[in-house]
């Protein structure tokens, strides 16, 4: 059964406990000066698998308020990163997480370009860098435990469960409360993701990419790749045919020439 997580942006107070839990569980270093995990400058980075970004927005009455958005890999149902990887170093697992296998990776960084959310980061300062992104605590999930970040949230802003149930909860929540915008971010984006968000603010104001297509991205390239075997056979056939004709024509020409020469003396 595939797992999912629902983030309710209205419940997040921006304490950053989730980012601490993530660093502890995954053994990532801190660099608050250059790569802060909480605040207006918070950005995902090689050492930041999750951050809480702070956004100044207007609430329903027009008053300026803060909103906090927890960011991490969304774990697409059909991940572009996994389809882009030439060695299969990124794989979608049955339980939901998109997992990275550094031993296979050659470091071409196509996944970083391919991800519509701009999630995979790189260890630019290392000699033999790895791609770096949230693994959705796949080891914990295998034991049916929630990811580290979810389990520590003091305000239960995140809910972990089976993906169908999570989607139902999300729909029920936005239907029952007028404050929410009628959009579940992650329900349709890139063909659907394991992490979903509900919010009282439009998502582009919280730093979520609004340009992401609803169609799973691997479908685009697969439409081209699956034609290759047939194209290969037909194209080789045509070329071989033309080559044979050319060869035959040359042979006829040269034998005629030699006959002509033979007759002369």
Among 14, 97, 191, 218, binds another protein (CB under 8 A): 218
Region for residue 181 given its phi and psi (left: phi exceeds 0; alpha: psi -120 to 50; beta: otherwise) = beta
Q: Which stretch binds another protein (CB under 8 A): 21-29, 68-76, 193-201, 246-254?
A: 246-254
Q: Which stretch binds another protein (CB under 8 A): 52-60, 61-69, 85-93, 141-149?
A: 85-93
Residue 230, interface with another protein (CB under 8 A)? no
Map residue 16 onto helix, strand or coil: coil
Q: Distance of CA 236 to CAs 225, 228, 230, 231, 242, Å?
A: 17, 12, 10, 8, 10
In the block, which residue shows the tokens 């999300």?
A: 170
Residue 229 Cβ vs another protein, minimum distance, rounded to whole Å: 11
Tell me the CA end-to-end span of the chain in Å, nearest whole number. 89
Report the DSSP beta bridge partners of residue 161: 4
State yes or no: 18 annotated in a binding site: yes
Residue 174, interface with another protein (CB under 8 A)? no
Burial 201-231 (b: 16+ CB within 10 A, else e): bebebbebeeebeeebbbeeeeeeeeeeeee
Residue 80 Cβ vs another protein, minimum distance, rounded to whole Å: 6
Residue 87, interface with another protein (CB under 8 A)? yes
Among 97, 116, 147, 191, binds another protein (CB under 8 A): 116
Residue 183, interface with another protein (CB under 8 A)? no
Q: Which long-range contacts (CB under 8 A, 24 or more apart) does 49-53 make?
A: 49/22, 49/73, 49/132, 49/133, 49/134, 49/135, 50/18, 50/19, 50/22, 50/134, 50/149, 51/19, 52/12, 52/14, 52/15, 52/16, 52/18, 52/19, 53/206, 53/207
Q: 49-68 mask for another protein (x: CB under 8 A)? A: --------------------
Dist. CA 88–CA 111, nearest whole Å: 11
Residue 83, interface with another protein (CB under 8 A)? yes
Residue 30, interface with another protein (CB under 8 A)? no
Residue 29, interface with another protein (CB under 8 A)? no
Residue 240, interface with another protein (CB under 8 A)? yes
State yes or no: 221 annotated in a binding site: no
Residue 86, interface with another protein (CB under 8 A)? yes
Among 2, 55, 57, 129, binds another protein (CB under 8 A): 129
State yes or no: 149 annotated in a binding site: yes
Please give the helix or strand (H or E) that residue 80 lies within, else none. helix 80-84
Residue 252, interface with another protein (CB under 8 A)? no
**Listing from the earlier edge strand, what are the strands of the sheet with 158-162?**
158-162, 3-8, 195-198
- Which residues would be at the binding site for another protein (CB under 8 A)? 44-46, 80, 82-89, 104-110, 112-114, 116, 118, 121-130, 211-213, 215, 217-218, 220-225, 228, 231-232, 235-236, 239-240, 242-243, 246-247, 249-250
Output the known binding site for [4Fe-4S] cluster.
12, 15, 18, 22, 73, 76, 81, 85, 105, 108, 111, 115, 134, 137, 149, 153
């Amino acid at each position: 059964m595939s797992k999912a997580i629902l983030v309710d942006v209205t419940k997040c107070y921006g304490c950053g406990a989730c980012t601490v839990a993530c660093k502890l569980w995954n053994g990532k270093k801190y660099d608050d000066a250059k790569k802060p995990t909480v605040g207006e400058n918070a950005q995902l980075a090689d050492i930041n698998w999750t951050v809480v970004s702070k956004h100044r927005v207007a609430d329903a009455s027009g008053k300026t308020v803060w909103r906090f958005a927890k960011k991490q890999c969304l774990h697409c149902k059909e991940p572009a990163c996994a389809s882009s990887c030439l060695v299969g170093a990124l794989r979608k697992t049955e339980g939901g997480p998109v997992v990275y296998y550094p031993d296979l990776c050659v470091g071409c960084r196509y996944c970083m370009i391919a991800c519509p959310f701009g999630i995979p980061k790189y260890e630019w300062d290392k000699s033999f860098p790895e791609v770096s992104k949230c693994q959705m605590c796949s080891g914990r999930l295998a034991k049916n435990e929630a990811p580290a970040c979810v389990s520590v949230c003091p305000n239960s802003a995140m809910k972990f469960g089976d993906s169908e149930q999570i989607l139902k909860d999300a729909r029920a929540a936005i239907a029952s409360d007028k404050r929410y915008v009628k959009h579940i971010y992650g329900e349709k984006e890139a063909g659907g993701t394991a992490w979903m968000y509900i919010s009282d603010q439009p998502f582009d104001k919280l730093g979520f990419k609004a340009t992401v297509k609803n169609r799973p991205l691997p479908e685009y390239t697969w439409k081209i790749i699956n034609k290759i075997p047939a194209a290969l056979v037909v194209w080789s056939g045509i070329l071989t045919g033309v080559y044979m004709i050319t060869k035959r024509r040359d042979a006829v020409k040269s034998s005629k020439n030699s006959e002509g020469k033979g007759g002369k003396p």
